[in-house]
Amino acid sequence: MSKKLRYSEKLDCRHCGNVAPMRCPGAVSDTQTEEQDFGPPVEHGMIYEVLICPKCEEPSIRQGHWHDGMEDEDDWHGTIIYPSEPTRVAGLPNEVEREFVAAQKVATVSPNAYAVLLGRVLDVVCDDRNAVGDTLHQRLVDLANRDEIPTNLADMAHKLRQLRNVGAHANLGTITNDEVPVLEALCRAVLEYVYAAPQLVAQVESRLQKLFSN
What does the binding site for Zn ion look like in residue numbers (CB under 5 A)?
13, 15-16, 18, 53, 55-56
Residue in 23, 20, 31 with CA at minimum distance from that of residue 6: 23
Give yes or no for a contact between 65 and 46, defined as CB atoms under 8 angstroms apart: yes
For residue 10, the minimal CB distance to Zn ion (Å) is 13
Closer Cβ to Zn ion, 9 or 71, answer by number: 9
First CA to last CA across the chain, in angstroms?
Answer: 74
Closer Cβ to Zn ion, 50 or 189, answer by number: 50
CA–CA gap between residue 143 and residue 126 (Å, rounded): 8
Burial of 10 (0-12, 13-18, 19+ CB in 10 A): exposed
Query: With b meaning 16 or more CB within 10 Å and e meaning fewer, what string describes 43-79?
Result: eeeebbbbbbbeeeeeebbbeeebeeeeeeeeeeebe
Closer Cβ to Zn ion, 107 or 131, answer by number: 107
For residue 5, the minimal CB distance to Zn ion (Å) is 17
For residue 92, the minimal CB distance to Zn ion (Å) is 25
For residue 57, the minimal CB distance to Zn ion (Å) is 7
For residue 179, the minimal CB distance to Zn ion (Å) is 20
Closer Cβ to Zn ion, 13 or 153, answer by number: 13
Residue in 56, 46, 3 with CA at minimum distance from that of residue 26: 3
